[in-house]
Amino acid sequence: MFSKLFGRKKETSVTGQPVSDWSFLGTDIHSHFVPGIDDGAQTVEDSVNLIRQMQDMGYRSIVTTPHIKYDHFPNTRNTILTGLQQLHHALEEQGITMPVKAAAEYYIDDHFMHLLDSEPLLTITGNEVLVEMSFMFEPVRFSEIIFKIQTAGYKPILAHPERYAFYHSRPEVYRELKDRGCYLQLNVIALAGYYGKSVKHIAEQLLKERLYDYCGTDMHHLKHAEVMQRMRHSGIMQSLVTYPFLNASI
Protein backbone atom coordinates (compact mmCIF):
# COMPACT_ATOMS: atom_id res chain seq x y z
CA MET A 1 0.00 0.00 0.00
CA PHE A 2 2.47 2.65 1.22
CA SER A 3 5.17 1.71 -1.27
CA LYS A 4 3.00 3.30 -3.95
CA LEU A 5 2.29 6.53 -2.09
CA PHE A 6 4.79 8.61 -3.99
CA GLY A 7 3.64 7.78 -7.50
CA ARG A 8 3.17 10.80 -9.74
CA LYS A 9 -0.53 10.30 -10.26
CA LYS A 10 -3.20 12.93 -9.62
CA GLU A 11 -4.48 12.60 -6.06
CA THR A 12 -8.14 12.97 -5.15
CA SER A 13 -10.12 13.06 -1.93
CA VAL A 14 -12.81 10.60 -0.92
CA THR A 15 -15.33 13.01 -2.45
CA GLY A 16 -13.57 12.82 -5.80
CA GLN A 17 -12.28 16.40 -5.52
CA PRO A 18 -8.58 17.06 -6.15
CA VAL A 19 -6.34 17.15 -3.08
CA SER A 20 -3.54 19.61 -3.69
CA ASP A 21 -2.69 21.04 -0.28
CA TRP A 22 -2.64 20.34 3.45
CA SER A 23 -5.84 22.19 4.30
CA PHE A 24 -7.52 18.96 5.41
CA LEU A 25 -5.33 19.08 8.54
CA GLY A 26 -6.38 22.61 9.46
CA THR A 27 -3.84 23.22 12.22
CA ASP A 28 -0.18 22.31 12.39
CA ILE A 29 0.78 21.43 15.97
CA HIS A 30 4.57 21.11 15.76
CA SER A 31 6.97 23.72 14.38
CA HIS A 32 9.78 26.06 15.38
CA PHE A 33 8.80 29.55 14.22
CA VAL A 34 9.56 31.75 17.23
CA PRO A 35 12.71 33.47 15.97
CA GLY A 36 16.15 33.02 17.46
CA ILE A 37 15.39 30.88 20.50
CA ASP A 38 16.09 27.33 19.29
CA ASP A 39 17.27 25.47 16.18
CA GLY A 40 14.31 26.64 14.09
CA ALA A 41 13.79 30.06 12.48
CA GLN A 42 16.72 32.30 13.38
CA THR A 43 15.30 35.69 12.39
CA VAL A 44 11.88 37.29 12.19
CA GLU A 45 12.27 37.26 8.41
CA ASP A 46 12.85 33.49 8.51
CA SER A 47 9.72 33.04 10.61
CA VAL A 48 7.55 35.15 8.33
CA ASN A 49 8.84 33.33 5.25
CA LEU A 50 8.10 29.92 6.72
CA ILE A 51 4.61 30.96 7.81
CA ARG A 52 3.94 32.25 4.30
CA GLN A 53 4.90 28.79 3.06
CA MET A 54 2.49 27.20 5.54
CA GLN A 55 -0.29 29.49 4.40
CA ASP A 56 0.46 28.65 0.76
CA MET A 57 0.23 24.95 1.58
CA GLY A 58 -3.27 25.38 2.95
CA TYR A 59 -2.78 25.41 6.71
CA ARG A 60 -5.34 27.58 8.50
CA SER A 61 -3.65 27.96 11.87
CA ILE A 62 -0.41 27.09 13.67
CA VAL A 63 0.59 26.05 17.16
CA THR A 64 4.34 26.61 17.12
CA THR A 65 6.41 24.66 19.64
CA PRO A 66 9.88 25.95 20.55
CA HIS A 67 12.15 23.54 22.34
CA ILE A 68 12.42 23.64 26.09
CA LYS A 69 15.56 21.58 26.60
CA TYR A 70 17.58 22.91 29.50
CA ASP A 71 21.09 21.92 28.31
CA HIS A 72 20.61 23.28 24.79
CA PHE A 73 17.60 25.59 24.57
CA PRO A 74 16.77 26.77 28.11
CA ASN A 75 13.60 28.56 27.10
CA THR A 76 10.90 29.61 29.51
CA ARG A 77 7.26 30.64 29.21
CA ASN A 78 8.54 34.22 29.10
CA THR A 79 11.08 33.78 26.28
CA ILE A 80 8.53 31.88 24.21
CA LEU A 81 5.59 34.23 24.74
CA THR A 82 7.75 37.34 24.30
CA GLY A 83 9.09 35.93 21.03
CA LEU A 84 5.56 35.07 19.94
CA GLN A 85 4.49 38.67 20.52
CA GLN A 86 7.38 39.85 18.33
CA LEU A 87 6.32 37.40 15.65
CA HIS A 88 2.69 38.58 15.81
CA HIS A 89 3.83 42.17 15.20
CA ALA A 90 5.89 41.10 12.17
CA LEU A 91 3.00 39.09 10.71
CA GLU A 92 0.65 42.04 11.18
CA GLU A 93 3.09 44.36 9.41
CA GLN A 94 3.23 41.94 6.48
CA GLY A 95 -0.55 41.59 6.31
CA ILE A 96 -0.45 37.88 7.19
CA THR A 97 -3.58 36.84 9.06
CA MET A 98 -2.58 33.25 9.85
CA PRO A 99 -3.43 32.61 13.54
CA VAL A 100 -0.29 31.54 15.40
CA LYS A 101 -0.18 30.54 19.06
CA ALA A 102 2.69 29.03 21.02
CA ALA A 103 3.07 25.93 23.11
CA ALA A 104 6.38 24.11 23.62
CA GLU A 105 8.15 20.89 22.76
CA TYR A 106 9.30 19.72 26.18
CA TYR A 107 12.36 17.48 26.38
CA ILE A 108 11.86 14.88 29.08
CA ASP A 109 14.62 15.39 31.62
CA ASP A 110 14.99 16.48 35.25
CA HIS A 111 14.23 20.08 34.32
CA PHE A 112 10.95 19.04 32.71
CA MET A 113 9.97 17.08 35.81
CA HIS A 114 10.67 20.20 37.88
CA LEU A 115 8.49 22.33 35.58
CA LEU A 116 5.76 19.75 35.82
CA ASP A 117 5.65 20.32 39.58
CA SER A 118 6.23 24.07 39.61
CA GLU A 119 4.32 25.90 36.86
CA PRO A 120 1.58 25.52 34.24
CA LEU A 121 2.90 23.99 31.03
CA LEU A 122 2.35 25.49 27.58
CA THR A 123 -0.16 23.16 25.93
CA ILE A 124 -1.15 22.42 22.35
CA THR A 125 -4.84 22.51 23.21
CA GLY A 126 -6.64 21.96 26.47
CA ASN A 127 -4.40 19.82 28.68
CA GLU A 128 -2.40 18.21 25.84
CA VAL A 129 1.34 18.75 26.07
CA LEU A 130 3.95 17.94 23.40
CA VAL A 131 6.95 15.99 24.71
CA GLU A 132 10.05 14.46 23.20
CA MET A 133 12.93 12.37 24.47
CA SER A 134 16.49 11.45 23.55
CA PHE A 135 16.98 9.87 20.13
CA MET A 136 19.59 7.61 21.75
CA PHE A 137 17.69 5.94 24.59
CA GLU A 138 14.35 5.79 26.36
CA PRO A 139 14.14 7.67 29.68
CA VAL A 140 14.54 5.51 32.75
CA ARG A 141 11.12 4.41 34.07
CA PHE A 142 9.35 6.08 31.16
CA SER A 143 6.02 4.53 32.12
CA GLU A 144 6.28 6.25 35.51
CA ILE A 145 7.03 9.56 33.82
CA ILE A 146 3.93 9.21 31.64
CA PHE A 147 1.91 8.50 34.77
CA LYS A 148 3.34 11.60 36.51
CA ILE A 149 2.44 13.76 33.52
CA GLN A 150 -1.10 12.43 33.67
CA THR A 151 -1.29 12.81 37.45
CA ALA A 152 -0.35 16.48 37.00
CA GLY A 153 -3.43 16.86 34.81
CA TYR A 154 -1.91 16.63 31.33
CA LYS A 155 -2.20 14.27 28.40
CA PRO A 156 1.17 13.68 26.69
CA ILE A 157 1.59 13.89 22.93
CA LEU A 158 4.80 12.06 22.04
CA ALA A 159 6.52 13.92 19.20
CA HIS A 160 7.81 11.93 16.20
CA PRO A 161 7.76 8.42 17.73
CA GLU A 162 8.92 7.00 14.40
CA ARG A 163 12.31 8.68 14.93
CA TYR A 164 13.22 6.80 18.12
CA ALA A 165 15.36 4.08 16.60
CA PHE A 166 15.56 2.10 19.83
CA TYR A 167 11.89 1.24 19.32
CA HIS A 168 12.28 0.00 15.74
CA SER A 169 13.13 -3.54 16.83
CA ARG A 170 10.27 -3.48 19.34
CA PRO A 171 7.28 -2.13 17.41
CA GLU A 172 4.89 -3.46 20.05
CA VAL A 173 6.02 -0.55 22.24
CA TYR A 174 4.01 1.91 20.16
CA ARG A 175 0.73 0.24 21.06
CA GLU A 176 1.87 0.02 24.67
CA LEU A 177 2.45 3.78 24.67
CA LYS A 178 -1.07 4.30 23.36
CA ASP A 179 -2.43 1.96 26.03
CA ARG A 180 -0.64 4.05 28.66
CA GLY A 181 -2.49 7.13 27.45
CA CYS A 182 -0.01 8.78 25.07
CA TYR A 183 -1.05 10.43 21.86
CA LEU A 184 1.42 9.87 19.02
CA GLN A 185 2.37 12.62 16.54
CA LEU A 186 3.66 11.89 13.04
CA ASN A 187 6.39 14.05 11.52
CA VAL A 188 4.85 14.01 8.07
CA ILE A 189 8.11 14.41 6.15
CA ALA A 190 9.15 11.03 7.53
CA LEU A 191 6.88 9.58 4.83
CA ALA A 192 9.05 11.24 2.18
CA GLY A 193 12.11 9.43 3.51
CA TYR A 194 13.59 12.62 4.96
CA TYR A 195 14.90 10.84 8.06
CA GLY A 196 15.89 7.63 6.28
CA LYS A 197 14.35 4.34 5.18
CA SER A 198 13.93 2.81 8.62
CA VAL A 199 12.04 5.81 9.98
CA LYS A 200 9.89 5.91 6.85
CA HIS A 201 9.02 2.23 7.26
CA ILE A 202 7.98 2.67 10.89
CA ALA A 203 5.90 5.74 10.03
CA GLU A 204 4.10 3.76 7.34
CA GLN A 205 3.42 0.92 9.78
CA LEU A 206 2.07 3.24 12.45
CA LEU A 207 -0.26 4.79 9.91
CA LYS A 208 -1.40 1.39 8.72
CA GLU A 209 -2.16 0.33 12.30
CA ARG A 210 -3.96 3.61 13.02
CA LEU A 211 -1.69 4.43 15.95
CA TYR A 212 -1.08 8.10 15.15
CA ASP A 213 -3.31 10.80 16.61
CA TYR A 214 -1.76 14.00 15.29
CA CYS A 215 0.21 15.03 12.22
CA GLY A 216 2.88 17.73 12.43
CA THR A 217 5.45 19.31 10.16
CA ASP A 218 8.16 19.84 12.81
CA MET A 219 9.24 22.59 10.43
CA HIS A 220 12.52 24.31 11.25
CA HIS A 221 13.71 25.79 7.96
CA LEU A 222 13.10 26.10 4.22
CA LYS A 223 14.43 22.64 3.44
CA HIS A 224 11.56 21.15 5.42
CA ALA A 225 9.11 23.45 3.61
CA GLU A 226 10.48 22.32 0.25
CA VAL A 227 9.87 18.67 1.16
CA MET A 228 6.31 19.52 2.19
CA GLN A 229 5.74 21.35 -1.09
CA ARG A 230 7.00 18.37 -3.11
CA MET A 231 4.71 16.03 -1.19
CA ARG A 232 1.75 18.01 -2.54
CA HIS A 233 2.49 16.51 -5.94
CA SER A 234 2.84 12.92 -4.74
CA GLY A 235 0.42 10.14 -3.96
CA ILE A 236 0.82 10.65 -0.20
CA MET A 237 -2.02 13.16 0.03
CA GLN A 238 -4.81 10.70 -0.76
CA SER A 239 -3.74 8.34 2.02
CA LEU A 240 -3.47 11.08 4.63
CA VAL A 241 -6.67 12.93 3.78
CA THR A 242 -8.70 9.90 4.87
CA TYR A 243 -6.79 9.38 8.14
CA PRO A 244 -8.62 10.48 11.32
CA PHE A 245 -6.00 12.93 12.60
CA LEU A 246 -7.13 15.13 15.49
CA ASN A 247 -5.57 18.32 14.05
CA ALA A 248 -8.85 19.57 12.61
CA SER A 249 -10.46 19.46 16.07
CA ILE A 250 -8.16 22.22 17.39
Torsion angles phi and psi, residue 68, rounded to 5: -120, 100
Torsion angles phi and psi, residue 102, rounded to 5: -125, 140
**Tens-place pLDDT, residues 187-215:** 999 999 999 999 999 999 999 999 999 99
Q: Which domains does the chain have, with CATH numbers?
A: 2-245 (3.20.20.140)
Please report which confidence band the pLDDT of residue 237 belongs to, taking 50, 70 and 90 as the band edges.
confident
4 pLDDT higher than 80: no
CB neighbour class for 13 (10 Å; exposed up to 12, middle 13-18, buried from 19): middle
pTM reported for the whole predicted model: 0.92
Query: For residue 158, what is the enclosing H or E element?
Result: strand 155-159
3-state secondary structure of 142: helix
Q: What is the 3-state secondary structure (H, E, C) of 179-225?
A: HCCCEEEEEHHHHHCCCCHHHHHHHHHHHHCCCCCEEECCECCHHHH
Q: In sequence order, which residues have a C-beta less than 8 Å from that of residue 223 and are 6 or more positions away? A: none
**Tens-place pLDDT, residues 109-160:** 999 999 999 999 999 999 999 999 999 999 999 999 999 999 999 999 999 9
Torsion angles phi and psi, residue 244, rounded to 5: -80, 60
Beta bridge pairs of residue 107: 132
- pLDDT, mean of residues 20-47: 97
